């Protein structure tokens, strides 16, 4: 790993901690689990975390869109875009094994996520996960759910998001989407790739499962 790996990893931790603190100040979400989740993420990222020396970088096909997503992030996300640019060469992008033999190949060419903070992340944390979801152009992420509490913040790109059986709603940079316990949700992109910051708390060791 590059000599500055620990430094840029700590920069990421401090940046997301500040980001989530600002989110809490700006938002008045009355969902109890939303506030519980945000408090856990803020607390966990408020202190220095152990650097994972066994963490190895790995790319997925959708990583071809990462540079453009970073470049197209709006000015209000300049700090997150800059720290993502610094850390991108270290990241281990992966796909959820629960989706294999269920979703089409087009999905795996255009979806991946990376755990940067978490039990197996670049920075080790036992009770939360923080990282990015990257979606390519014109891809459907079919309905799925998980026991963990999940918060998405759109950093770059426009997309459509669905909760339960509601109509898809357009989401843009600056929007956040909270998924409560086992809440079915789906998303799709059109002409733009999407980069979203995600955080998990609760049952973080159980990956999402497709709803068939």
Q: For 67-136, give the DSSP string.
A: HHHHHTS-GGGHHHHHHHHHHGGG-BEE--GGGTTTS-HHHHHSEEEEEEEETTSSEE-SSEEEEEEEE-
CA separation for the pair 212, 118 (Å, rounded):
28
pLDDT band for 1, please (50, 70, 90 cuts).
low
Q: CA angle, corner 118, sides to 135 and 180, nearest 5?
A: 65
**Which pLDDT belongs to residue 30?**
81
First to last CA, the chain: 41
Q: For the segment 106-125, what is each residue's pLDDT rounded down to a tens digit?
A: 999 999 999 999 999 999 99
pLDDT over 70 at 3, yes or no = no
Which CATH number applies to 5-204: 2.120.10.30, 2.60.40.1120, 2.60.120.10, 3.40.50.2300? 2.60.120.10
| The total number of residues written for the chain in this structure | 212
**Which pLDDT belongs to residue 196?**
98
**Which pLDDT belongs to residue 2?**
64
CA separation for the pair 44, 49 (Å, rounded):
9
Mean pLDDT of 190-205: 97
Contacts of 119 (CB under 8 A, 6+ apart): 125, 126, 129, 204, 205
pLDDT band for 212, please (50, 70, 90 cuts).
confident
Mean pLDDT of 184-194: 98
**Coil, helix or strand at residue 156:** strand
pLDDT over 90 at 184, yes or no = yes
Calculate what percentage of the chain has a pLDDT beyond 90: 93
Q: For the segment 68-84, what is each residue's pLDDT rounded down to a tens digit?
A: 999 999 999 999 999 99
**Which pLDDT belongs to residue 31?**
86
CA separation for the pair 130, 19 (Å, rounded):
12
């Amino acid at each position: 790993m590059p000599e500055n790996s620990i430094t840029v990893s700590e920069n990421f931790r401090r940046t997301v901690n500040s980001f989530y603190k600002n989110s809490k100040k700006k938002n008045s979400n009355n969902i109890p689990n939303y506030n519980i989740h945000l408090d856990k993420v803020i607390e966990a990222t408020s202190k220095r975390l152990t650097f994972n020396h066994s963490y190895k970088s790995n790319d997925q096909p959708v990583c071809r869109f990462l540079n453009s997503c970073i470049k197209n992030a709006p000015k209000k996300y300049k700090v997150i875009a800059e720290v993502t640019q610094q850390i991108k060469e270290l990241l281990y992008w992966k796909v959820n094994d629960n989706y294999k033999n269920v979703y089409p190949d087009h999905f795996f060419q255009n979806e991946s996520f990376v755990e940067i903070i978490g039990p197996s992340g670049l920075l080790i944390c036992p009770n939360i996960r923080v990282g990015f979801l990257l979606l390519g152009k014109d891809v459907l992420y079919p309905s799925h759910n998980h026991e963990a509490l999940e918060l998405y913040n759109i950093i770059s790109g426009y997309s459509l998001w669905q909760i339960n059986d509601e109509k898809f709603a357009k989401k843009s940079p600056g929007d956040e989407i909270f998924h409560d316990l086992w809440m079915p949700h789906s998303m799709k992109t059109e002409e733009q790739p999407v980069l979203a910051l995600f955080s998990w708390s609760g049952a973080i060791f159980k990956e999402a499962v497709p709803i068939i």
